[in-house]
Amino acid sequence: MKKLTALLLALTLLFTSACAGGEGTQDTPDAPDSPPVQEQTPPAETDAPDEPAPEPEAEPEPEPEPPAPVEKEPYEILDPTVMPEGGERDGVKYEAYNGIVEHLFFHPIIAYPELAFDGDSEEKGLDDFMVTADEFWKIMDSCYANGYVLVDIGDVWSETTGDDGQPKMVRNTLYLPEGKKPVVFSYDDTNYYPYMLENGFTYKLVMGDDGKIASWGRNPEGGEVVSRDLDAIPMLDKFVEEHPDFSPFGAKASLSLTGYCGILGYRTQTEREDQSAEHEANRQREREAVKPIIEELKRTGWTFGSHTWGHINLAKKPLDTVKADTEKWLDEVGSLVGETPILYYPHGARPDGNDWTETGPIFQYLQSQGFRVFCSVGTESFSFIKKDLCAVICDRLHPDGTTLRRSRERYLQFYDAKDIMDVDVRPQREILWE
Ligand SMILES: [Zn+2]
C-alpha cells in the first residue's frame, strides 16, 4: 500500500502542471491511468507554370495561387460483421470468428528517449507507462507476425433488442481472413498534454505536405520536426500502408480523448481562469484548425472515445461532478469528434467502485448519455455484457514499461519483451526476465 501511495503521489506530481492555469478542485485533471494497481480480477511533382514574360506596360502582379489540394488516396473501410460474398475477398478466404477479441492500449509514445529518460522527476512514470517509438514499431510488427489483424472496437458489439423488448448489447460474429485473430488498439490521452512536450513527445498532429497525418514537434536541439516516424498515429498509418493485410477492414485505433488540454495538440478547451475574448477567439481558431485533422483521421479508419473531460476518477467523484464533466466533454470534444459509445475509464477506475457486479448511479448516468462500451485495464482482454442494462464492460492489456519489465510471459502471444524493450535507452531498473 505504501508503494501504491508513493506511485500515486508521483503520478499526481507528474500531472500537476498539466495544463496552464489548472482547474479548480472539482475537476482537477487526475494522473494518467496506472494500470498495474487498478486492475480488478474478473476473468506528382508538377512544375509551376512559367510566369509570363513581363509586358512593357507591367500588368498588376497576379495573386499568388494557393497550393492545389493534395489528391487523397482512396481509403476503404469495411464491415467485419459481414461475410464477404462467396466467403472470399481479394483471393483471401474469410471465416467466422467468435473467440476473444484482444485489446491493447497505449499511451502516447516517446519520440525522444533522451528527453524522457533524463533522470528528472518524471522519468520513472514515463518508464512505467509508455513505450518508445522504436518499441512501438516492433510491437506492431510482432502482432502482425503473430497473425493478429486490427478491428475497430465499435465493430465488436452491437446494440439490439432483447426478448423482453429492452435494448441490450450483443457480441458480433466477426468474419476474418482465415487463421487470423482480431486485436483492437486504443490510445489513451491523445491530447498532447503540455507536460509531455518537454519530455520527448510530439506536440500535435498536422497535415503533412503529402496530405497525410504527421506529427509536429521539436527535437532535443529545439528544431521543428514534421514526421510520420515519431508518433503512434502516423506510425500505425504507415505500418498499415506497408502491411495492408494487418488491417483488412481499414481499422486503425480508437483514440481516447480527454478535453482539459484540448485534443490532438489543439487547445480547444475552455479555461475557468481565462474567460477573456482573446482566449475564446484563440479557442475557436484551434477548433477550426483541428477539424480537417479529425476528418482525415475518420476517413482513414480512426475512431474516438471519451476519456472524460478532466481525466476524473469515476470510482471516487460524486455524481454531480461526473455530470458536469460529461457535459463539458460532449460540448468541447464530442462537438468536434462526434458522438461515441465508447468510454475509457481514467486510471482504469470503475464507476461506483465496481461496474460489473453492480450498476450504480454513475454507471447508469453514463449509460444514459449514450456510452455502451466501458473500458478498463486488466490482465486479460476480458469482456462482460451486462444483464441489467444495455452496456458491455471490457478490460484492456497495456503494453508499457511495466509489462515489458514484469509480464513477459503474459504478452508472449503478441510479442517477446526481450525483442521489444530498448534496455539501453530506458532507466536501469529491475527486469523480471533474463
Ligand atoms: Zn488516461
Vertex 88, ends 86 and 93: CA angle to 5°?
130
Distance CA 3, CA 345 (A): 22
pLDDT tens, position by position, for the chain (434 residues)?
334 333 433 343 344 334 644 333 334 444 445 443 343 434 433 344 444 444 445 555 666 676 677 788 999 999 999 999 999 999 999 999 999 999 999 999 999 999 999 999 999 999 999 999 999 999 999 999 999 999 999 999 999 999 999 999 999 999 999 999 999 999 999 999 999 998 999 999 999 999 999 999 999 999 999 999 999 999 999 999 999 999 999 999 999 999 999 999 999 999 999 999 999 999 999 999 999 999 999 999 999 999 999 999 999 999 999 999 999 999 999 999 999 999 999 999 999 988 988 899 999 999 999 999 999 999 999 999 999 999 999 999 999 999 999 999 999 999 999 999 999 999 999 999 97
Question: Looking at residue 15, what is its pLDDT?
Answer: 41
**φ, ψ dihedrals at 306, nearest 5°:** -90, 140
Residue 356 forms part of a structural domain: yes
CA 346–ligand 1 middle distance (angstroms): 5
Domain with 259, as residue range(s), is 106-420
Please indicate, yes or no, if residue 86 is contained in any of the structural domains. no
Q: How much is the pLDDT for 58? A: 53
Question: Which ranges in 17-53 belong to alpha helices (H)?
Answer: 35-38
Can you give the pLDDT at residue 121?
94
b/e 338-350 (16+ beta carbons within 10 angstroms → b) = eebbbbbbbbbbb
Residue 107 to residue 126: CA distance in whole angstroms: 10
**For residue 327, what is its C-alpha cell?**
457535459
Instruction: Decide if 22 is inside a domain.
Output: no
Ligand 1 geometric centre to CA of 286 (Å): 22
pLDDT confidence of residue 48:
40
Q: How many domains does the chain have?
A: 1
Helix ranges restricted to H, 146-221: 194-197
Q: Is residue 63 in some structural domain?
A: no
Q: 225 CA to middle of ligand 1, Å?
A: 26
C-alpha 32 – ligand 1 centre gap (Å): 4
On whether residue 207 sits in a domain, the answer given is yes
Cα 45 to ligand 1 centre (Å): 42
Q: What is the CATH number of the domain that holds 224?
A: 3.20.20
Does 327 map to a domain? yes
**124 grid coordinates:** 520513472
Question: Is residue 52 domain-resident?
Answer: no
Residues 6+ apart with CB under 8 A from 206: 213, 214, 215, 216, 226, 293
pTM: 0.87
Distances (CA, A) of 259 to 17, 42, 215, 227, 326: 15, 30, 19, 25, 10
Phi/psi for 174 (5° steps) reads: -105, 145
Dihedral sign (CA 228, 232, 238, 242)? positive
Task: Give the other-Cβ count within 10 Å of 29's Cβ.
Answer: 24
Calculate how far, in angstroms, residue 175's C-alpha sits from the geometric centre of ligand 1. Answer: 31
Q: What does the pLDDT read at residue 434?
A: 73
Residues 93 and 178 sit within 8 Å (Cβ to Cβ): yes
- Listed residue (151, 159, 178) closest to 96, CA to CA: 178
In-domain check, residue 20:
no
Ligand 1 center from residue 53 Cα (angstroms): 60
> How many Å lie between the centroid of ligand 1 and the Cα of residue 366?
17
